[in-house]
Structure 1
């Protein structure tokens, strides 16, 4: 295997793993802050117990997210140093903002929230919860701003062959990030909602103590999940329309649209070999003219296919990689502008499919538990716990589609932006040896596997412990010992 391939595997594995924690932290932090608000406003002990239980799981997940997230920053210098040099003048500002928010605001108020239960006034303590959760969202925004710049470079000028930042405001208000942020936040709510529903259903089935806590948690999760799916549909449509403008090859690959169509049909399901960019022997179940509407808001517009886009890309960005030994076996070879079609085509459908299943399960669970009912069949908790995985899978499939769909670019050219602002993935990798990258890949994968076991153990422990496991206990001198 080449260094490039190993580096991509390493970044993909660690990033997908890290992103399992991110949406749960974002969504759960806001829901826990809402639970605590309900307790402070009403004095109802049920909301206090909900805050304590779900807050404990939030802390475990947040800790693991911090540990795994740090590696992402180091990978830029370790495996992608050429990329880091190219984008450094641009990424410095949003990543510094994210660092300040994450390591100062988030950490400070989270610490005050953890240790302030019996020391701070209720409303001050509640303010700490909201400050932490809003800082978590802000941190996500700055990360997405950096990622969106890679998808659609803005606010720069070229200086000595490298982009130089001229407007941080343009980067932070990039239309790509303005569409990606609500979509990501909605995905985070979908994840946390399914988490609430699955665990609450399990406790209801076991007839655990504090039934009202579990029933309230389940109802909250189902309604949040349904609203999140609606928000995902709307924001996803906006993202799709932008991608048709900014990255037409990605969207053509998402549909395995090999030939230009007018009007263009949306492929629901394909049978055959979608790996070939000529789409021979592929039969699709389609919805007529729907793709034209998704792309341009009308049912008659033209959507360009892969076969017509390739010559356009070759004319704009070249037919061959530069002759450079640092490119390895790709030096001087033809550039393949077509992403991995099975990944983009099926990734797009898995994202939509798992998202719809998650929302459907939420509605079904709400119906099953109507009028304080609790199904007695073994399938009820199994269905709830299995449903936790669906939004996680949808999020992962969506990000894999987004990142792999832009290949062969790591920085995608802006069709209407500054000329020359793009970078091929093959040019971004560090001048490391296969052995060095392979060693770090094995080491990081091993460490992440251990961390996954640790997190699963801790989550399982406190889920099984229920409400009693997180409430403050009386010490020998009669004082309260808080669970965190």
Structure 2
């Protein structure tokens, strides 16, 4: 493989790993905020425990995602100096804003929320988690503004071979950014719901005594999941209305259509391979089928919850089958999300900035050995973090609502845990 191929592979792995952390973080944060709001309103202990239980899973995933996000920022400058030279003023500005929002605001609010349990007024504490949600989704918006520019470069002029911002409004209202965000938000909520349903199903399989606790969790997850699946599918289809020229070939297309587009691009840009690779077309039917099935599954679960029948299937073997199904398919939305990101990025090849800068012109002039070394180091780091993340989440999820780490003050039934143990709870 060439240095260009290795650089592209590293970016693909970095982006996918980071996005898998992000999608669960964005999916769980609003759920935790909703649960804490119910606790603030009702004062019921069960709502407090719901908040702390799901909140500690959110915090672990957030912490791991931060590390991968830092690595992704680093590799932009390391391997894509041509992109930074050409479009750094336009592409880099939203990413810099996102960094300020995520690391200065979101992290500050989250830190206050984590260590504010039993110290801050209940409503002040609840407002902090909503500020975390707000800044998290603002971060997602700025990331999509940057990515939307790569997909559909608007709001800029090119002076002396360098892109400069000309119209901030056009940059912020780019359909490729806004439309993608409207699809990604419900996808994140759907992913969080699937994870919650899977964890609840595991506890029902184990014959948990905390039936009411997990039934309440399930009810929230199913309602959010049903709504999110509907919008995820609808907004996904809506993006077909503003695909850039040639992007539709990433979803399929005949040989004649590909040849016609290739001829048009050669007339504009000269010889080269200007069509998206054919292998990426597998991603679209997988996403389409998965989204439709999730709509059916979640609306079916809504009907079951009407009579609290999810954990009381008859006959019993039928219930065990479905509970196992939800446990084993828990990671599936992450696979679908990865396919969606691949389709979005690979589908615009060979361009980094569509129609303006190719990957060959954007890559840094490193040798193959240098890029291969960084690829091995980064991939190993990401794999370790991913395994550690899911191991810690599984460890905390299995412990149930009676051995909570988040919000523990060292007294009572959570006496053996302290807030500082949140990230190291897997060792106990």
Q: TM-score, normalised by structure 2?
A: 0.91
Q: Secondary structure at the match of 2:275?
A: coil
Q: Does 1:430 align with 2:364?
A: yes
- Paired with 1:170 and 1:93, the residues of 2 have a C-alpha distance of 14
Q: Does 1:309 align with 2:261?
A: yes
Structure 2 residues without counterparts, runs of 5 or longer: 423-428
Q: For the Cα contact (< 8 Å) 1:113–1:128, is it kept in 2?
A: yes
1:390 counterpart (332, 348, 357): 332
- Paired with 1:100 and 1:17, the residues of 2 have a C-alpha distance of 21
Name the CA shift for 1:476/1:126 in 2 (closer, same or farther; >3 Å).
closer
Name the CA shift for 1:319/1:477 in 2 (closer, same or farther; >3 Å).
closer
Larger RCO (alpha carbons 8 Å, 6+ apart): 2
Aligned to 1:456: 390
1:60-97: per-residue Cα shift (whole Å, max 9, x none)?
Answer: 10011001111111111111111111111112321221
Aligned to 2:279: 342
Name the CA shift for 1:433/1:474 in 2 (closer, same or farther; >3 Å).
closer
Aligned to 1:297: none
Aligned to 2:250: 253
Q: For the Cα contact (< 8 Å) 1:358–1:387, is it kept in 2?
A: no
Q: Does 1:403 align with 2:339?
A: no
Name the CA shift for 1:369/1:85 in 2 (closer, same or farther; >3 Å).
same
Q: Does 1:319 align with 2:270?
A: yes
Name the CA shift for 1:49/1:163 in 2 (closer, same or farther; >3 Å).
same
Structure 1 residues without counterparts, runs of 5 or longer: 259-276, 279-304, 321-334, 414-421
Give the number of equivalent residue pairs: 412
Query: Structure 1 or 2: larger helix share?
Result: 2
- Paired with 2:409 and 2:374, the residues of 1 have a C-alpha distance of 47
- Paired with 1:478 and 1:31, the residues of 2 have a C-alpha distance of 25
Moved over 6 A (4+): 476-481
Q: Does 1:77 align with 2:77?
A: yes
Q: For the Cα contact (< 8 Å) 1:361–1:387, is it kept in 2?
A: no
Aligned-pair CA distance for 1:477: 9.9
Q: Secondary structure at the match of 1:29?
A: helix
Q: Which moved more, 1:136-145 or 1:451-460?
A: 451-460
Aligned to 1:360: 296
Name the CA shift for 1:102/1:473 in 2 (closer, same or farther; >3 Å).
closer
Q: For the Cα contact (< 8 Å) 2:250–2:343, is it kept in 1?
A: no
Name the CA shift for 1:138/1:307 in 2 (closer, same or farther; >3 Å).
same
Q: How does 1:63-462 map to 2 (within 5 A)?
A: 63-243=63-243, 247-254=244-251, 256-258=252-254, 277-278=255-256, 305-316=257-268, 318-320=269-271, 335-343=272-280, 345-368=281-304, 370-373=306-309, 374=311, 375=313, 376-377=316-317, 378-413=320-355, 422-462=356-396
RMSD, aligned CA = 2.0
- Paired with 2:335 and 2:295, the residues of 1 have a C-alpha distance of 13
- Paired with 2:143 and 2:106, the residues of 1 have a C-alpha distance of 15
Aligned to 2:426: none
Q: For the Cα contact (< 8 Å) 1:229–1:355, is it kept in 2?
A: yes
Aligned-pair CA distance for 1:368: 4.8
Q: TM-score, normalised by structure 1?
A: 0.81
Aligned-pair CA distance for 1:162: 1.6
- Paired with 1:467 and 1:478, the residues of 2 have a C-alpha distance of 11
